[in-house]
């Protein structure tokens, strides 16, 4: 396959004559069909698997399309969107639960990753061992992690027994609507090793002189963290919060597995959101509407709304934090 295109690399049609050896050589312009050849996987893939579905979802969202139904599809304008806001109560439950996770889980997970990274870089000998141990859980497939946490957090399970030893009456965790989301937060903290690695790399990049200067000024460990480490790693904090937010808006697998496995008395479609819709998130609700009830048009409206919200939230977040990250980076 190498021989077919071999002579093309010369690209003689370019306006730049080849400069003499030793001069600054600029790559000559490639022929358009060579470029297209190399790009073709992405051009086709983007068109078929991204561009077409994004536009089709927008179109579906304006119709009463039901996948698998032979009923003729009717254009209904914005009715699906109006239905989201006015008729559906599960929609708002899902929105509230998802926002709860964005507001509670994302900052906690970021803070925990930061704390664990800080603990790690203060260890001189054996740092690599701790880093591997802290990182390991984030490699565990989400499904396996969720199942392990269901075992660990079983109301009569190991953790509650350990808590009992110290006189604490453990909650029902995944089977208690008040504790199901905190259980997922615990799981997210446990699997935060990938963020921790980025934090510890950034912390190790902070110049030693800055710490020494702070020590000369009589700063303690906490003060050094606040006035030296924190400003230096603010871009990573920003990155962790942003990617965490985007991920949590689409939060699916953890909730789906926890709901369907913590209690399995009936078919899994009825178990989305268990217990008592406390784990009904935007994406699980979208899945139920689109792929269990096959209300394709309605689910498409949900999908587009999610798209817009993620986009808007990203723009707002970048705008809002630009000053914070910049100020912190250049501060003192």
- Pick the piece of the chain touching another protein (CB under 8 A) from 52-60, 74-82, 211-219, 225-233: 52-60
Look up tokens 């003499």; give the residue. Answer: 20
User: Under rule CB under 8 A, which residues in 302-321 are in contact with another protein?
Assistant: 302-304, 306-307, 310, 314
Q: Are 223 and 245 in contact (CB under 8 A)?
A: no
- Pick the piece of the chain touching another protein (CB under 8 A) from 50-58, 89-97, 174-182, 223-231: 50-58
Q: Are 281 and 255 in contact (CB under 8 A)?
A: yes
- Count of residues touching another protein (by CB under 8 A): 104
Give the Å distances, CA to CA, from 208 to 169, 214, 229, 231, 283.
46, 10, 11, 14, 45
Q: Which of 103, 143, 315, 316 binds another protein (CB under 8 A)?
A: 143
Contact track, another protein, 71-100, x by CB under 8 A: ------------------------------
Residue 45 contacts another protein per CB under 8 A: yes
CA distance 285 to 283: 5
Q: Which of 62, 203, 286, 328 binds another protein (CB under 8 A)?
A: 286
3-state secondary structure of 17: coil
Residue 145 or 237: which CB sits closer to another protein?
145
Nearest CA among 248, 202, 238, 247 for reference residue 110 = 238
Q: Least distance in Å: CB of 230 to another protein?
A: 18
Strand partners, 75: 63
- Pick the piece of the chain touching another protein (CB under 8 A) from 124-132, 206-214, 229-237, 322-330: 124-132
Give 189: exposed, middle or buried? Use CB within 10 Å, 0-12, 13-18, 19+. Answer: middle
Q: Which of 160, 229, 234, 277 binds another protein (CB under 8 A)?
A: 160
- Pick the piece of the chain touching another protein (CB under 8 A) from 82-90, 206-214, 252-260, 321-329: 252-260
Q: Are 256 and 284 in contact (CB under 8 A)?
A: yes
Q: Which of 12, 39, 207, 316 binds another protein (CB under 8 A)?
A: 39
- Under 8 Å CB-to-CB from 256, ≥6 apart: which residues? 272, 284, 287
Residue 76 or 302: which CB sits closer to another protein?
302
Residue 245 or 328: which CB sits closer to another protein?
245
Residue 174 contacts another protein per CB under 8 A: no
Residue 276 contacts another protein per CB under 8 A: no
- Stated length of the chain: 332
Residue 48 or 103: which CB sits closer to another protein?
48
Report the Cα–Cα distance between both ends of the chain, in Å, rounded. Answer: 58
Q: Least distance in Å: CB of 327 to another protein?
A: 26
Q: Which of 22, 23, 68, 77 binds another protein (CB under 8 A)?
A: 68
User: Under rule CB under 8 A, which residues in 205-234 are in contact with another protein?
Assistant: none
Distance of CA 193 to the CA centre of its chain: 14
Give 286: exposed, middle or buried? Use CB within 10 Å, 0-12, 13-18, 19+. Answer: buried
Strand partners, 223: none
Q: Which of 234, 260, 277, 278 binds another protein (CB under 8 A)?
A: 260
Q: How many CB atoms lie within 10 A of CB 107?
A: 15
Residue 283 contacts another protein per CB under 8 A: yes
Q: Which of 265, 319, 320, 332 binds another protein (CB under 8 A)?
A: 265
Q: Least distance in Å: CB of 76 to another protein?
A: 16
Give the Å distances, CA to CA, from 230 to 217, 227, 259.
17, 6, 38
Q: Which of 172, 244, 273, 290 binds another protein (CB under 8 A)?
A: 290
CA distance 252 to 242: 18
């Amino acid at each position: 396959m190498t021989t077919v295109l071999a002579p093309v690399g010369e690209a003689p049609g370019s306006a730049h004559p080849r400069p003499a050896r030793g001069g600054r050589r600029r790559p000559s312009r490639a022929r358009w069909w060579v470029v297209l050849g190399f790009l073709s996987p992405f051009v086709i893939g983007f068109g078929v698997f991204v561009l077409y579905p994004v536009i089709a979802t927008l179109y579906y969202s304006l119709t009463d399309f039901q996948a698998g139904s032979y009923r003729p599809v009717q254009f209904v304008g914005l009715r699906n969107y109006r239905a989201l806001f006015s008729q559906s109560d599960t929609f708002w439950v899902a929105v509230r639960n998802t926002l709860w996770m964005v507001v509670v889980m994302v900052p906690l997970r970021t803070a925990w990753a930061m704390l664990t990274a800080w603990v790690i870089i203060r260890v001189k000998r054996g740092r690599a061992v701790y880093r591997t141990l802290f990182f390991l859980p984030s490699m565990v497939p989400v499904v396996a992690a969720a199942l392990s946490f269901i075992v660990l957090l079983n109301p009569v399970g190991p953790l509650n027994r350990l808590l009992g030893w110290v006189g604490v009456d453990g909650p029902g965790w995944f089977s208690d609507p008040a504790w199901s989301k905190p259980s997922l937060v615990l799981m997210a903290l446990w699997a935060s090793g990938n963020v921790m690695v980025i934090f510890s790399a950034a912390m190790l990049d902070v110049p030693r002189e800055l710490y020494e200067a702070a020590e000369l000024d009589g700063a303690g460990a906490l003060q050094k963290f606040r006035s030296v480490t924190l400003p230096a790693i603010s871009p990573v904090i920003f990155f962790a919060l942003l990617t965490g937010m985007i991920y949590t808006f689409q939060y699916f697998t953890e909730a789906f597995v926890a709901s369907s496995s913590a209690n399995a008395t009936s078919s899994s479609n009825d178990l989305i959101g268990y217990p008592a819709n406390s784990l009904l998130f935007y994406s699980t609700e979208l899945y139920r509407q689109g792929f269990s009830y096959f209300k394709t048009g309605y689910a498409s409206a949900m999908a587009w709304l999610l798209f817009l919200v993620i986009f808007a939230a990203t723009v707002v977040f970048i705008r809002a934090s630009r000053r914070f990250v910049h100020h912190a980076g250049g501060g003192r």
